[in-house]
Copies of this chain bind each other. A is one copy, B any other.
Protein backbone atom coordinates (compact mmCIF):
# COMPACT_ATOMS: atom_id res chain seq x y z
CA UNK A 1 0.00 0.00 0.00
CA UNK A 2 1.30 3.44 -0.95
CA UNK A 3 0.76 6.37 1.44
CA UNK A 4 0.89 10.07 0.60
CA UNK A 5 1.60 12.35 3.57
CA UNK A 6 1.66 16.11 4.03
CA UNK A 7 4.46 17.05 6.40
CA UNK A 8 5.77 20.25 7.96
CA UNK A 9 9.27 20.88 9.26
CA UNK A 10 11.36 23.58 10.84
CA UNK A 11 14.47 23.49 8.65
CA UNK A 12 16.71 25.27 11.19
CA UNK A 13 18.41 22.13 12.51
CA UNK A 14 18.45 20.07 9.32
CA UNK A 15 21.07 19.85 6.65
CA UNK A 16 18.28 19.92 4.08
CA UNK A 17 15.67 17.35 3.05
CA UNK A 18 17.79 14.81 1.19
CA UNK A 19 19.42 11.99 3.14
CA UNK A 20 23.21 12.19 3.51
CA UNK A 21 25.60 10.11 5.57
CA UNK A 22 26.46 11.62 8.98
CA UNK A 23 24.10 14.58 8.51
CA UNK A 24 20.75 15.29 10.12
CA UNK A 25 18.23 15.44 7.26
CA UNK A 26 14.44 15.37 7.01
CA UNK A 27 14.42 12.31 4.77
CA UNK A 28 16.88 10.58 7.11
CA UNK A 29 14.66 11.19 10.15
CA UNK A 30 11.52 10.07 8.28
CA UNK A 31 13.18 6.88 7.08
CA UNK A 32 14.56 6.15 10.55
CA UNK A 33 11.07 6.50 12.10
CA UNK A 34 9.47 4.34 9.38
CA UNK A 35 12.18 1.70 9.60
CA UNK A 36 11.57 1.49 13.36
CA UNK A 37 7.81 1.07 12.74
CA UNK A 38 8.56 -1.69 10.23
CA UNK A 39 10.80 -3.57 12.70
CA UNK A 40 14.06 -2.78 10.97
CA UNK A 41 12.96 -3.19 7.36
CA UNK A 42 14.20 -0.14 5.45
CA UNK A 43 11.42 2.06 4.06
CA UNK A 44 12.38 4.54 1.36
CA UNK A 45 10.71 7.97 1.45
CA UNK A 46 10.19 10.06 -1.70
CA UNK A 47 9.62 13.81 -1.41
CA UNK A 48 8.04 16.23 -3.90
CA UNK A 49 11.50 17.78 -4.11
CA UNK A 50 14.52 18.63 -1.99
CA UNK A 51 14.76 21.64 0.24
CA UNK A 52 18.15 23.10 1.16
CA UNK A 53 19.78 23.56 4.55
CA UNK A 54 17.71 25.90 6.71
CA UNK A 55 14.68 25.92 4.36
CA UNK A 56 11.32 25.20 6.02
CA UNK A 57 8.19 23.37 4.92
CA UNK A 58 4.57 24.04 5.79
CA UNK A 59 3.21 21.50 3.30
CA UNK A 60 5.88 19.21 1.85
CA UNK A 61 4.46 16.00 0.34
CA UNK A 62 6.08 12.56 0.58
CA UNK A 63 5.14 9.01 -0.36
CA UNK A 64 6.27 5.59 0.80
CA UNK A 65 5.09 1.98 0.68
CA UNK A 66 3.98 -0.01 3.70
CA UNK A 67 2.31 -3.30 4.53
CA UNK A 68 1.48 -2.33 8.11
CA UNK A 69 -2.12 -2.73 9.14
CA UNK A 70 -2.72 0.68 10.76
CA UNK A 71 -5.97 2.60 10.12
CA UNK A 72 -5.14 5.53 7.84
CA UNK A 73 -6.29 8.17 10.33
CA UNK A 74 -3.90 6.76 12.98
CA UNK A 75 -0.82 7.09 10.77
CA UNK A 76 0.02 10.74 11.64
CA UNK A 77 -0.15 10.04 15.39
CA UNK A 78 1.91 6.85 15.06
CA UNK A 79 4.62 8.52 12.97
CA UNK A 80 4.70 11.73 15.01
CA UNK A 81 5.32 9.69 18.15
CA UNK A 82 8.58 8.45 16.57
CA UNK A 83 9.65 11.67 14.84
CA UNK A 84 11.67 14.51 16.40
CA UNK A 85 9.52 17.52 17.28
CA UNK A 86 10.79 19.65 14.38
CA UNK A 87 9.02 17.37 11.86
CA UNK A 88 5.25 16.92 11.94
CA UNK A 89 3.04 14.66 9.84
CA UNK A 90 -0.15 16.67 9.24
CA UNK A 91 -2.13 14.26 7.10
CA UNK A 92 -1.85 10.75 5.64
CA UNK A 93 -3.90 9.36 2.74
CA UNK A 94 -3.88 6.12 0.77
CA UNK A 95 -2.57 6.89 -2.73
CA UNK A 96 -2.68 4.99 -6.02
CA UNK A 97 0.07 2.38 -6.31
CA UNK A 98 1.77 4.40 -9.04
CA UNK A 99 1.50 7.78 -7.27
CA UNK A 100 4.85 9.61 -7.07
CA UNK A 101 5.26 12.71 -4.88
CA UNK A 102 7.83 14.30 -7.21
CA UNK A 103 6.79 13.14 -10.68
CA UNK A 104 3.08 13.84 -10.21
CA UNK A 105 3.47 17.29 -8.61
CA UNK A 106 1.67 19.76 -10.90
CA UNK A 107 2.29 23.06 -9.11
CA UNK A 108 4.22 24.23 -6.09
CA UNK A 109 3.79 27.23 -3.86
CA UNK A 110 6.77 28.76 -2.08
CA UNK A 111 6.70 31.72 0.31
CA UNK A 112 9.63 33.85 1.36
CA UNK A 113 9.61 35.99 4.53
CA UNK A 114 11.74 39.12 4.87
CA UNK A 115 11.95 40.79 8.27
CA UNK A 116 12.24 44.44 7.39
CA UNK A 117 13.32 46.38 10.46
CA UNK A 118 16.27 48.40 11.74
CA UNK A 119 17.06 45.85 14.46
CA UNK A 120 17.07 42.07 14.14
CA UNK A 121 14.56 40.04 16.16
CA UNK A 122 15.84 37.03 18.10
CA UNK A 123 12.57 35.16 17.50
CA UNK A 124 12.83 35.50 13.72
CA UNK A 125 16.56 34.83 13.34
CA UNK A 126 16.00 31.34 11.85
CA UNK A 127 12.63 32.08 10.22
CA UNK A 128 13.05 35.18 8.06
CA UNK A 129 15.77 37.08 6.20
CA UNK A 130 16.55 40.31 8.05
CA UNK A 131 16.83 43.41 5.85
CA UNK A 132 17.52 46.58 7.90
CA UNK A 133 16.31 48.95 5.17
CA UNK A 134 12.99 50.18 3.79
CA UNK A 135 11.80 48.22 0.76
CA UNK A 136 9.84 49.72 -2.11
CA UNK A 137 7.13 47.05 -2.42
CA UNK A 138 5.41 48.73 -5.38
CA UNK A 139 8.61 48.52 -7.42
CA UNK A 140 9.08 44.86 -6.51
CA UNK A 141 5.49 44.14 -7.59
CA UNK A 142 6.16 45.94 -10.88
CA UNK A 143 9.36 43.91 -11.39
CA UNK A 144 7.60 40.64 -10.59
CA UNK A 145 5.23 41.07 -13.56
CA UNK A 146 8.13 40.39 -15.98
CA UNK A 147 8.62 36.99 -14.33
CA UNK A 148 5.06 35.73 -14.79
CA UNK A 149 4.42 33.18 -17.51
CA UNK A 150 6.72 30.74 -19.28
CA UNK A 151 10.41 31.65 -19.49
CA UNK A 152 13.86 30.14 -19.59
CA UNK A 153 14.93 30.80 -16.00
CA UNK A 154 18.66 30.04 -16.52
CA UNK A 155 19.57 33.42 -14.99
CA UNK A 156 17.67 32.44 -11.83
CA UNK A 157 19.18 29.00 -11.39
CA UNK A 158 22.26 28.03 -9.42
CA UNK A 159 25.20 27.11 -11.67
CA UNK A 160 25.42 23.93 -9.55
CA UNK A 161 22.67 22.08 -11.43
CA UNK A 162 22.59 19.40 -14.08
CA UNK A 163 18.99 20.04 -15.18
CA UNK A 164 19.03 20.76 -18.92
CA UNK A 165 15.59 22.23 -19.51
CA UNK A 166 15.37 25.49 -17.62
CA UNK A 167 11.98 26.55 -18.95
CA UNK A 168 9.40 26.91 -16.19
CA UNK A 169 6.04 28.65 -15.82
CA UNK A 170 5.22 31.03 -12.97
CA UNK A 171 1.44 31.34 -12.59
CA UNK A 172 1.27 33.76 -9.71
CA UNK A 173 3.55 36.09 -7.74
CA UNK A 174 2.27 38.14 -4.80
CA UNK A 175 4.27 40.46 -2.59
CA UNK A 176 2.70 42.04 0.47
CA UNK A 177 3.49 43.55 3.85
CA UNK A 178 2.37 42.22 7.23
CA UNK A 179 3.56 44.29 10.21
CA UNK A 180 7.37 44.38 9.89
CA UNK A 181 7.51 41.56 7.32
CA UNK A 182 7.46 41.56 3.54
CA UNK A 183 6.10 38.27 2.22
CA UNK A 184 6.64 36.85 -1.27
CA UNK A 185 4.45 34.09 -2.75
CA UNK A 186 5.38 32.19 -5.92
CA UNK A 187 3.20 29.57 -7.59
CA UNK A 188 4.68 27.73 -10.54
CA UNK A 189 4.78 24.41 -12.34
CA UNK A 190 8.28 23.73 -11.08
CA UNK A 191 11.30 25.50 -9.65
CA UNK A 192 14.99 25.18 -10.51
CA UNK A 193 17.78 24.83 -7.96
CA UNK A 194 17.83 28.00 -5.77
CA UNK A 195 15.32 29.64 -8.14
CA UNK A 196 13.06 31.21 -5.49
CA UNK A 197 16.05 32.44 -3.48
CA UNK A 198 17.64 34.07 -6.55
CA UNK A 199 14.27 35.56 -7.59
CA UNK A 200 13.86 37.05 -4.10
CA UNK A 201 17.48 38.22 -3.94
CA UNK A 202 17.02 40.01 -7.26
CA UNK A 203 13.62 41.49 -6.35
CA UNK A 204 15.14 42.79 -3.08
CA UNK A 205 17.71 44.73 -5.11
CA UNK A 206 14.75 46.31 -6.93
CA UNK A 207 13.07 46.98 -3.56
CA UNK A 208 16.26 48.67 -2.35
CA UNK A 209 16.22 50.72 -5.57
CA UNK A 210 19.59 49.38 -6.71
CA UNK A 211 17.99 48.06 -9.91
CA UNK A 212 14.99 49.24 -11.91
CA UNK A 213 11.98 46.90 -12.35
CA UNK A 214 12.54 46.66 -16.11
CA UNK A 215 16.01 45.15 -15.60
CA UNK A 216 14.24 41.87 -14.82
CA UNK A 217 13.35 41.49 -18.49
CA UNK A 218 17.02 41.87 -19.50
CA UNK A 219 18.14 39.41 -16.84
CA UNK A 220 15.70 36.77 -18.15
CA UNK A 221 16.89 37.34 -21.72
CA UNK A 222 20.57 37.06 -20.73
CA UNK A 223 20.09 33.44 -19.53
CA UNK A 224 23.17 34.00 -17.38
CA UNK A 225 23.19 33.52 -13.59
CA UNK A 226 25.74 36.32 -13.21
CA UNK A 227 23.23 38.94 -14.38
CA UNK A 228 20.75 38.26 -11.53
CA UNK A 229 21.05 39.26 -7.88
CA UNK A 230 22.36 37.45 -4.82
CA UNK A 231 20.85 34.20 -3.57
CA UNK A 232 18.68 35.16 -0.56
CA UNK A 233 19.35 33.03 2.55
CA UNK A 234 17.52 29.71 2.97
CA UNK A 235 16.06 30.53 6.39
CA UNK A 236 13.41 32.87 4.88
CA UNK A 237 12.10 30.21 2.46
CA UNK A 238 9.08 27.94 3.02
CA UNK A 239 7.78 25.17 0.74
CA UNK A 240 4.16 26.10 1.36
CA UNK A 241 2.08 23.67 -0.71
CA UNK A 242 2.36 21.05 -3.45
CA UNK A 243 -0.54 20.59 -5.87
CA UNK A 244 -1.55 17.33 -7.56
CA UNK A 245 -4.30 16.51 -10.03
CA UNK A 246 -6.40 14.91 -7.32
Contacts and interface: CB of A to CB of B under 8 A. Distances in A.
A208 to B, nearest CB: 21
Interface of A: 8-10, 56, 85-88, 90, 119-123, 125, 127
Nearest to A84: B122
A122 B123 CA distance: 14
In the assembly, how many copies of this chain are there?
A: 2
A85 B121 CA distance: 9
A124 to B, nearest CB: 10
A8 B123 CA distance: 9
A10 B123 CA distance: 6
Nearest to A57: B122
Contact of A122 (B9, B119, B120): B9
Given A8-B122, A88-B119, 17 more contacts: A8-B121, A9-B122, A10-B122, A10-B123, A10-B125, A56-B123, A85-B120, A85-B122, A85-B125, A86-B122, A86-B125, A87-B122, A88-B120, A88-B121, A88-B122, A90-B119, A123-B127
Nearest to A10: B122
